[in-house]
Amino acid sequence: MKGYKEIIASYANVPGGIIEAYHAIQKEFSYLPEEAILEAAKVFNLPVSEAYGVATFYSMFSVKPRGKNVIRICESAPCHVAGAAEVVAALERELGICMGESTQDGLFALEFTECVGQCQATPVITINGKPYLNVSPAKIPEILAEYK
Amino acid sequence: MAEEMRIVLRNYGKIDPLKIDDYIAQGGYKALEKARSMDRETLIEEVKKSKLRGRGGAGFNCGQKWSFAYQAQADQKYVVCNADEGEPGTYKDRLIMENDPHTLIEGMAICAYAIGATKGYIYCRGEYPHLVGILNTAISQAKEKGFLKDFDIEVRSGAGAYVCGEETALIESIEGKRGEPRFKPPYPPSEGLWGKPTIVNNVETFANIPVIVEKGADWYASIGVPSYPGTKVFTLTGDINNKTFFEVPTNTTIRELIYKYGGGIPGGKKFKAVQIGGTSGAFIPEELLDTPVAFDNMAAIGATLGSGAVFVLDETRDIVDVVTRIAKFFEHESCGKCAPCREGTARMYEIMSKINSGKGTTKDIETISRLGRVMSCSCLCGLGQAAPAPVLTTIQHFKADYHAKLV
């Protein structure tokens, strides 16, 4: 596992590179640890409030620890009418957690998202950015098994 | 009846997107060569004459925008591609980038030559991580073959903020800040990225450019509706048989989109409403379906063309519930910079939830209509200005559905 200092340093010379650095940190840690935000503020020469402001503005960044595999369920209108609510219920049941929570073993996090641009096959979920199309409650166990 | 016509998707399925030689074999990068043989003013004049208007939703004349950046004096200018397609129900830009990344790069390089820019950015939404690799491969191939000369393109990823589709919010995000829209003017062609003249165009807009340069402005201007010529890519979702995409000339009607291309409503059910242009679009009833999809024709019926998302609802759908869901979307996506949007979207969702749960009164409908009108003219950016459209147009066209839910 790469350290956050090393990751941030590699973006130090990229103008406006803090968002790219945050993406890279999340790839390793699944969230943005407080120390990493402090370090980013230092390296990009920003007040801590601004570095934190960027981290909390974007919905894909989390400043709280969360499960390693981030499951995001689209709840935009096309997925909403295609039955996203049943998929939400099935995921909550299967993982034993509610939306916005992570599993005890740290394996999964459950989040809502808005449209992920795969509307040819709704409802859609993504796991670590990989889309799963035409998802039904019956398909959930099989999809999750890939990450266990 | 208008037939499907592929301009921006001309190479879809015909080439391997990761092989530049496939693109070249289809005539790729010839337009860039031709553009560079023209003087800059003639080139911009040609784009202006084609009447190509921005495909991101605002519909501004593309060549005119370029001429502002061309005229601006600066030591550095930028070309930015808005690939932050966040409108729910839209995936046209993904199709272009996934299947033909070089057409975007060629379009950007032509723009760079026209305005005198040496640096470009593609701001790709965070939900499309797989595209970053495709785009970077295509950029390095074009660089290696010498097509890009001194023009560099960098890919940046968004991180899940709908508002970053607004061009000044997108610019803020490239600068590494919170994606909050700027006050305008100044507009980006005079002061954009890092305060320098910047052209921000949508993926679909850039994808049109090589073909316009190659075949000429007159050819392009003759396609579809004269005030908004060319084609538009539509993505069909909701209660529709063919949940897929089509590229059609702009004189195609909404009815043709739904019944000819979309194959109609599944299960023998009747049509109820269609929302066009994404989640901020108007809901359109049956009696307006013969409207051509072009920008001004849509505006004339109080609707928008927007991103080209086509979201169809059948007769069994609870339109008030769908609009409540949409109101939640805007409450979540409002960036909070201006009060009318930050407070307005929250109150709008609150009132819609009240009506949707059967606790609303006629007074609530009056209040939400007034709130919507105030937001459309007082919000800082397009997000807040357009957010009330689904509420206002459904109250206008589907009032009975609201009344059925009141106490």
Helix ranges restricted to H, B195-338: 203-215, 217-221, 254-255, 295-300, 319-333
The β-bridge partners of A74 are A113
For the stretch B342-380, pLDDT in tens is 999 999 999 999 999 999 999 999 999 999 999 999 999
For the stretch B132-160, pLDDT in tens is 999 999 999 999 999 999 999 999 999 99
Q: Are the CB atoms for B44 and B131 separated by under 8 Å?
A: no
Q: Does residue A73 sit in the same domain as residue A41? A: no
Q: Are the CB atoms for B46 and B217 separated by under 8 Å?
A: yes
Residue A43 in domain = yes
Q: What is the DSSP letter of B120?
A: E
The β-bridge partners of B247 are B233
Q: Say if residue B1's pLDDT is above 60.
A: no
Cα separation, B71 vs B81, in Å, equals 20
Q: Say if residue B181's pLDDT is above 80.
A: yes
Cβ within 8 Å, pair B322-A80: yes
Q: Does residue A24 sit in the same domain as residue A84? A: no
B235 touches chain A (CB under 8 A): yes
Residue A132 in domain = yes
**Tokens in use for B358?**
């059967």
Q: What is the DSSP letter of B165?
A: G
SS3 B199: strand
Cα separation, B236 vs A78, in Å, equals 10
CATH of B20-222, one of 3.40.190.10, 3.20.20.80, 3.40.50.11540, 3.30.70.1280: 3.40.50.11540
For the stretch B62-84, pLDDT in tens is 999 999 999 999 999 999 999 99
Partner residue facing A115 (CB), from B86, B243, B244: B86
Cα separation, B387 vs A148, in Å, equals 41
Residues of chain B with CATH 1.20.1440.230: 319-403
Region B225-314: CATH code: 3.10.20.600
For the stretch A96-113, pLDDT in tens is 999 999 999 999 999 999
Topology given in CATH for the domain delimited by B319-403: de novo design (two linked rop proteins) (1.20.1440)
| Of residues A66, A75, A80, the one with CA closest to residue A31 | A66
Residues of chain B with CATH 3.40.50.11540: 20-222
Q: What is the DSSP letter of B26?
A: T
Phi-psi sector, A23: left (phi>0), alpha (psi -120 to 50), beta: alpha
Q: Are the CB atoms for A110 and A92 separated by under 8 Å?
A: yes
Q: Does residue A52 sit in the same domain as residue A22? A: yes
Query: Using CB atoms within 10 A of its CB, is residue B1 exposed (0-12), middle (13-18) or buried (19+)?
Result: exposed
SS3 A56: helix
| Of residues B340, B327, B335, the one with CA closest to residue B378 | B340
* Number of domains chain A is built from: 2
Smallest Cα distance from B312 to chain A, Å: 9
Q: A53 is in which domain, residue-wise?
A: 4-57
For the stretch A46-72, pLDDT in tens is 999 999 999 999 999 999 999 999 999
Q: Label each residue of B321-357 as H, E or C.
A: HHHHHHHHHHHHHCCCCCHHHHHHHHHHHHHHHHHHC
Smallest Cα distance from B23 to chain A, Å: 25
Interface with chain B: mutation pick from A14, A19, A79, A111, highest number of B CBs within 10 Å? A19
For the stretch B205-244, pLDDT in tens is 999 999 999 999 999 999 999 999 999 999 999 999 999 9
Residue carrying the six token digits 């850039």: B206
Cα separation, B325 vs A94, in Å, equals 25
Of all residues in chain A, the one with the smallest CA distance to B337 is A57
What CATH number is associated with residue A120?
A: 3.40.30.10
Angle formed at CA B60 by CA B56 and CA B62, multiple of 5 degrees: 90
